[in-house]
Structure 1
C-alpha cells in the first residue's frame, strides 16, 4: 500500500514539492522533475525552492509569499515563473500549506504546482466543449422553431377551413367528420405548442414577468375557458376561492395561467364522471406578500403509486394504455413543473387509481394593485354583426391564409382590403383610412417588421396610433423585442382561433377614421329619418344570469330590475368620466361593474371598458376616439337593458 501511495504521489498530474521553512528542497515528485528538466539528485543536494524562480519572482517570493505563508499558514493560486534547466521559463500556479509543531513553529512547506500550459489547455477544451454544447442547443432550438413554423402554416389552413366548414349546412355524418378534423388539428396544434414551450425552457429562454394582476379573475377565466369541455363530458366543474386572498398579486399571469390550464385540461381529459374542483387558498398573509395554495382535484382514473415519481419526466404518461386511449405528449406536467421551478417551488401530487388525483403547488407572491391598463383580453364569442363598418387592411402573401382570414372578416361584416407584401401595405395605408391592420411578418419585397417600422416613422399622428397586429406562425417569445421595436400593437399566432381574432379586432378596432365617422353620420341620419338604427346582437349572454336564480321567477324579475337600475346609473357615470377625462372615476366604476359583466358574459362591453381606460391613461387624449368608445359602451349597456326588460315581461 505504501508503494502504491508513493507511485500515486510520483505520477500525479500536478507537481508536488516539500521544503523546509527556509525553502530547502527535501522531497519532490517525478511530474515536477519532468516539467523542469532537473535530475532528482541535483535538486535534493541542498538547493532551495526560491533559487529555481526567475529574478522577479524571487523578489515576490521573499516580500509577499513567505510573509503570507507565515501569517495565515497557506497560500493559494499564486502565479510564479520557474526556470527550466535549459534556461527558458515556465508559468505555474502554486498552492502551499505550512505545517507547524504544537508550539506554532514552522516544520515544512507542502507545495502543489499546476502547469499553466496544461491548465489553459484544459480551459480551452472546456470552453470548446461548452461552445459546442451551446451550438448544439441553438441548432436544435432553431430546427424545432423552423419545423414548427413550417407545420403551423398548413395547419393554419386546416384549422381555419375546418372552423368555416362547421359553420355551413352539413349532414350529420359530415358534421362528425368536421368535428373529428377540428379536434385532431387542435390536438396537433397543442402538441406543437408543448414541444415549443419545452424547447424554450430547455434552452433557458423562459423568464418570469413581474406585474400586478387579478388572481381570482385569472382562475375564473381559466375555468370558464375550459368549461365547455367539461360540459361535453357532463362533469361538474367547481370553483372554491378563499375570500381572504388579496385581489391583486404580483407575478406572471401568463405562466400561472399556463400551469392551471395544463392541470385543468388533464383533469378533464382523464375524468369520465364525477367532478373537478379548482381551489385557491391563503396559506399565510404577510405585510407585502401572500403565500397561496392552488389545488386541482378530480375524480378520474388516478395514477398508480409506483408511477407517481415519473409523471413529471418529459414525454412520460402514467401508462402505455393511457397514451393509446387519451393521446398527448406527456409534456404538460413537465412544462408546469419547470415553470414552478422558476418560482423556486414544486408541484405535489396525491392520487389513487380509480378514485382520482389532486395536484397542488404553493407560491408566495407580492401583493399588487389594480393595473391601470389591463393586458388581459376577454374570450369573446364571434358575432356576425358586432364589427360591422370596421375597415381592416390584411397584409398576407399566402393565398390559403388570405382565404381563411377574409372569410371570417366577411362573416363579421368587416370592410377589408388585401395586399400581398409590405410595400403595398405601406402604399395602401397612405391612400385610405383603416381602423386596424393585420400584418404578416414574412412577406416578399418588404417584410412585416420593416413595413410597420416605416409606417410608424411617417409624419402622421393617425398612423402612429393605428393598431397593427402581427400575424406569424412563429412563437411570440422567439420574436422577442423585435415586435416591440418595430411598433406592433399586438400579436396573433397562426393558426389562430376565431375567438382570438375577433377579440383582438374588438379590442383595438376603435381607431376613429373617416370610415367610422361616416358610419356614425349614417346612423344619425337614419334616426332623423325614422329608420331603426338597431345594432347587431350584442356580445353577452343571459344564461348564467338565469341560472343564478335557479328558476325562481320572482327572484329573476327582482334581479333584472336591480341590474337595469345599476346599468342606467353606469351609463351616466361612464359618460361623465370619459367626457371630463376622469380616469380614477372611470376605473372605479369599471371595477364595480366587473362582477355583473362576468355574470352576463358581456365580453364586448369589457373590451370597450379596457379601451376606455387605455385612452384616459394617455397623456394626449383624442376626443374622437373617446367618443367612439363611449358610443360602444352606451350601445352595449342599452342592449343589455333591453334584454333585461324582456326578461321582466316574460
Structure 2
C-alpha cells in the first residue's frame, strides 16, 4: 500500500508569530536535528521557518542586530507548502517536483482538516520514497522469482504434455498400422461384395482415427508455436493431381460428381510449404465430401500475379451439401467447434480441422474464408502468396507409383520390426510387389543380418528391444564393408518432424510414419531402388 504524508510527519511543537528571533536561534542551536519550525495562529499554520534560511539571515552582517529582538513574523516563510496528512506520498512527490521544488530544502507543513499536525522535510520524503522503492523492488523481485518458477512449471507441464502426446501417438499408431495394413491386404484378396464393403469400412474408420490423431498433434504444436514451415519447389499440377487421386475414390463411394481443375498455368512451378498447403486443401475437400450426400464437389486451383513478383495461389472448394446455418457461421474457425453441437450429430469429428487450417494459412501469411447457406451448400477458399520458380515442370511424383509398375529386378529386403502384427502387415504389403522379405525382431539382429547377406533395402523401426533403430543404423553406417551403404527407410510410429530429423541424422535415407499406405510404401521402394535419396519428401501418410 502506498505511504501517506502522515507517515512523514515529525511532531515539532509550533511557535507563534510573536516569538522573538533570539528564541528561535536558541531552539535551533539546542537541537541539531530540528530542520524547520512551524508558526501557528491557534491551530492554523501561518508560516514556516526553515533552519538553513534562518541562519543565513542571522549570519548576515547586521542579522543578529536586526532579527534577534524582532518577532519571527519578519523571518518566516508566509506561504509554505501545506499538505493534508492523508495525501499519498506519490502525489506529494509529484507536487514538489512540478510546482514547489523549494520544499525539498525548506520543508512543508502537515495538517489534518486544516489544523497543524507536524512538519515534513525533504529528508523524510527522500527516505520514504527510497523505502517505498525498495519495497516495490522487493515485491518485483519476489514476483519475478514467482514468475520464473511458474514459467519453469509451465515449461515442465508443456514438456510433459508433449511427451504424453508423443507417447500416445506412438502407442496408437502401432496397432493402427496393423489394422490398416492387414485391411489393405484383405482388400487385395478375393472378397464377396459384402466382405469388401466391411473391409473398406475398417480402412475408412482407421483413416478417420488417424486424422483425429494428427489433428490433436498439430493443434498441440500450434498452441506451443512449434509447427514447422518447410517450403519446397513443386508444380501446381502436382497439387491438383494429388487432390484428384486421393479423394476421387471417397467421392465415388458417395456417387458424387468430383472435379479438380487448374486455372492460370497448371505447369507453373511454385515455392512454398506444399505439405501444409495440401493439409489445408485436403481438409476442405474432406469436409466437402463428408457433408455432401448428393450432387458435386468442385475444386479449383488458380495462380495469379501478386505484388513484389510473387504468385498468389487460390483454392476454391464448392459443394452442394447441407450448408452451414447462419447461427453457426461465426464460430466455424474456432477450435472444437462444429455447426451441429448436439451429442447426436451425424458426421462426427473433433472440430479442430478448420481451426488448424486457419492457423496454418495465417502462419503462411494468407487468408481463409467461406460462404454458405443452410441446405444450399458451401464455398470454402484460401489464398497464399508463394514464390515463383523458373524451370521445367518436375517429373511426376514418385507417389504415383502403383502395383502396375513393379521394380525391374527382384529386391532383397530386410524388415526390422518387433511387433508381430506389423511384421505381418509390412511383409504382406511387400509381397504384393513380389518381394519376399527377411524379418528380424530388433536392431542387433538387423546389424548382424546386413553383415551376413547383401540387402537392397532395409525397413527399420525406431523403438525395438536390445538395440533401437537409431543405434542400429549408426552401427551399420560404421561398418567397414559395402553393407554400410545399404539404403535404410525408417518405418516407425514416431511421426513427429523431430523424429524424422533424428532418423536422417542417424543415417537413414527416408522416414515413413506408421500407419503407411501401400502406395507410399511402394513409392519409397521405387525411389531408393532407382538411386534417389531424400531430396524430395514423400506424400505424408497422415
State yes or no: 1:469 paired with 2:489: yes
Q: Distance in 1 between matches of 2:500 and 2:420?
A: 27
Aligned-residue offset at 1:258 = 0.5
Maintained 8 Å contact 1:18/1:28: no
CA offset digits 1:423-447 (Å, max 9, x no partner): 1211211222111110000111111
Maintained 8 Å contact 2:292/2:322: yes
State yes or no: 1:228 paired with 2:262: no
Change over 3 Å in CA distance of 1:11–1:614 after alignment to 2: closer
State yes or no: 1:10 paired with 2:30: no
Aligned to 1:271: 292
The TM-score, its normalising length taken from structure 1, stands at 0.62
Change over 3 Å in CA distance of 1:23–1:231 after alignment to 2: farther
CA offset digits 1:539-563 (Å, max 9, x no partner): xxxxxxxxxxxxxxxxxxxxxxxxx
State yes or no: 1:207 paired with 2:283: no
Aligned-residue offset at 1:170 = 3.0
State yes or no: 1:304 paired with 2:380: no
11, 17, 24: which is aligned to 2:104?
24
Pairing of 1:561-576 with structure 2 (within 5 A): none
Aligned-residue offset at 1:210 = 2.7
Q: Distance in 1 between matches of 2:276 and 2:143?
A: 40
Aligned to 2:506: 486
Change over 3 Å in CA distance of 1:263–1:437 after alignment to 2: same
Maintained 8 Å contact 1:317/1:323: no
Q: Distance in 2 between matches of 1:274 and 1:468?
A: 46
Aligned-residue offset at 1:351 = 0.3
Structural RMSD (CA): 3.5
State yes or no: 1:284 paired with 2:364: no
Aligned to 2:517: 497
Aligned-residue offset at 1:244 = 5.1
Q: Looking at both structures, which has the greater relative contact order when contacts are Cα pairs under 8 Å and sequence separation is at least 6?
A: 2
Change over 3 Å in CA distance of 1:24–1:372 after alignment to 2: farther
Asked which structure has the greater CA Rg, the reply is 2
Q: Distance in 2 between matches of 1:258 and 1:399?
A: 32
Structure 2 runs not aligned, ≥5 long:
5-83, 111-116, 537-542
Q: Distance in 1 between matches of 2:101 and 2:465?
A: 78
Aligned to 2:442: 421
Find the residue that maps to 1:47 and give its secondary structure: helix
The TM-score, its normalising length taken from structure 2, stands at 0.74
Aligned to 1:319: 340
314, 321, 332: which is aligned to 2:353?
332
Aligned to 1:508: 528
Aligned to 1:440: 461
Change over 3 Å in CA distance of 1:408–1:293 after alignment to 2: closer
Maintained 8 Å contact 2:232/2:273: yes
Q: Distance in 2 between matches of 1:417 and 1:144?
A: 33
Change over 3 Å in CA distance of 1:8–1:225 after alignment to 2: farther
Aligned-residue offset at 1:457 = 2.5
Pairing of 1:147-226 with structure 2 (within 5 A): 147-226=168-247
Maintained 8 Å contact 1:467/1:508: yes
Pairing of 1:541-556 with structure 2 (within 5 A): none
Aligned-residue offset at 1:377 = 3.4
* Higher mean displacement: 19-28 or 401-410: 19-28
Aligned-residue offset at 1:46 = 4.9
Maintained 8 Å contact 1:267/1:298: yes
Maintained 8 Å contact 2:170/2:493: yes
Maintained 8 Å contact 1:17/1:28: no
Find the residue that maps to 1:325 and give its secondary structure: coil
Find the residue that maps to 1:313 and give its secondary structure: coil
Change over 3 Å in CA distance of 1:23–1:454 after alignment to 2: farther
CA offset digits 1:145-192 (Å, max 9, x no partner): 211211221222111222222222334433333232222222222221
Aligned-residue offset at 1:345 = 3.1
Q: Distance in 2 between matches of 1:24 and 1:165?
A: 93
CA offset digits 1:335-373 (Å, max 9, x no partner): 111101212333111001111111112211121244999
Q: Distance in 1 between matches of 2:92 and 2:187?
A: 75
Change over 3 Å in CA distance of 1:147–1:41 after alignment to 2: farther
Structure 1 runs not aligned, ≥5 long:
30-39, 54-80, 85-89, 93-113, 512-610, 616-650
Q: Distance in 2 between matches of 1:474 and 1:13?
A: 62
Pairing of 1:522-561 with structure 2 (within 5 A): none
Find the residue that maps to 1:484 and give its secondary structure: helix
Runs ≥4 residues deviating over 6 A: 6-9, 11-17, 25-29, 371-375, 612-615
Change over 3 Å in CA distance of 1:133–1:11 after alignment to 2: farther
Find the residue that maps to 1:394 and give its secondary structure: strand
CA offset digits 1:19-77 (Å, max 9, x no partner): 44468176899xxxxxxxxxx956x2353867x59xxxxxxxxxxxxxxxxxxxxxxxx
Aligned to 2:69: none
Which structure shows the higher helix fraction?
Answer: 1
Maintained 8 Å contact 1:439/1:469: yes
Aligned to 2:67: none
Q: Distance in 2 between matches of 1:133 and 1:184?
A: 36
State the number of aligned residues. Answer: 445
* Higher mean displacement: 331-340 or 167-176: 167-176
Maintained 8 Å contact 1:388/1:412: no
Aligned-residue offset at 1:310 = 0.8
Change over 3 Å in CA distance of 1:466–1:310 after alignment to 2: same
Change over 3 Å in CA distance of 1:323–1:133 after alignment to 2: farther
Q: Distance in 2 between matches of 1:191 and 1:14?
A: 63
428, 432, 436: which is aligned to 1:411?
432
Change over 3 Å in CA distance of 1:11–1:377 after alignment to 2: farther
Q: Distance in 1 between matches of 2:188 and 2:267?
A: 43
Change over 3 Å in CA distance of 1:299–1:23 after alignment to 2: farther
Aligned-residue offset at 1:389 = 0.8
Aligned-residue offset at 1:451 = 1.0
